Chain A
């Protein structure tokens, strides 16, 4: 299996621009997670989906952030408009199950976003 695939791996944009991050989970995984990693705040869970349905988006920082999962093999995280404080590494992860079952989350390589 190719693992979790994220694109782009690096993104440099200017403040105010729209940014779209993409994720392809591992085939057959029912759960998909979006995380943000910064030096100051560490690794934060932004949102997760179960069977393409958003379950918990309480970690999404503000309305400028939105995430969709139109089908089982694709998800996007969009920032519109982007701001310099959004600069971070954004990870996508997927798993077969989540919670009480003994299931591992598999992380993608991340997208390194720099907003100038």
Chain B
């Protein structure tokens, strides 16, 4: 099946530093999504990307949909303690008759720790 390689697996940074993480795949995706999961909670969508080359920002977060449609990155600028959590990338594809069967594949996550 499809697999996403997300890196790094974990990061330990100082407050105020910028963060970058990325996902790559051997498969092409129609949509790239970035989620954040806080301890004891479910993932929450941060940014969605729908076109190759698309660059989208959400506050201090910036994400890009790779030109090849096989990769995406997420940047967090000026990190703060509440950025702590696990960040997941997810790729979405469509298959079946008329592209009506959608499949969402998640990366293994990047654990971010921010030292105040």
- Could you list which residues of chain A lie within 8 angstroms of chain B, going by C-beta atoms? 4, 33, 42-45, 55-56, 91, 93, 98-100, 102, 104-105, 107-110
Contact = CB atoms under 8 A, between A and B. Distances in A.
A4 B43 CA distance: 12
Given A42-B109, A107-B43, A100 B94 contact: yes
Contacts of B30: 100
B101 A56 contact: yes
Interface in B74-116: 88, 92, 94, 99-109
17 contacts: A42-B106, A42-B109, A43-B88, A43-B106, A44-B106, A56-B101, A93-B42, A98-B102, A102-B48, A104-B45, A104-B48, A105-B104, A107-B43, A109-B40, A109-B41, A109-B42, A110-B41
A108 B43 CA distance: 8
A43 B43 contact: yes
Interface of B: 30, 40-45, 48, 50, 88, 92, 94, 99-109
Contacts of A91: 42-43
Question: Ordered nearest first, which 3 A-B pairs have the shortest CB separation?
Answer: A107-B42, A43-B106, A99-B102
Nearest to B108: A42
Contact of B94 (A44, A99, A108): A99
A112 B13 CA distance: 29
Given A98-B102, A99-B102, 16 more contacts: A33-B104, A42-B88, A42-B109, A45-B106, A56-B102, A56-B103, A91-B43, A99-B100, A100-B94, A100-B99, A104-B45, A104-B48, A105-B45, A107-B44, A110-B41, A110-B42
Contacts of A108: 42
A33 B100 CA distance: 16
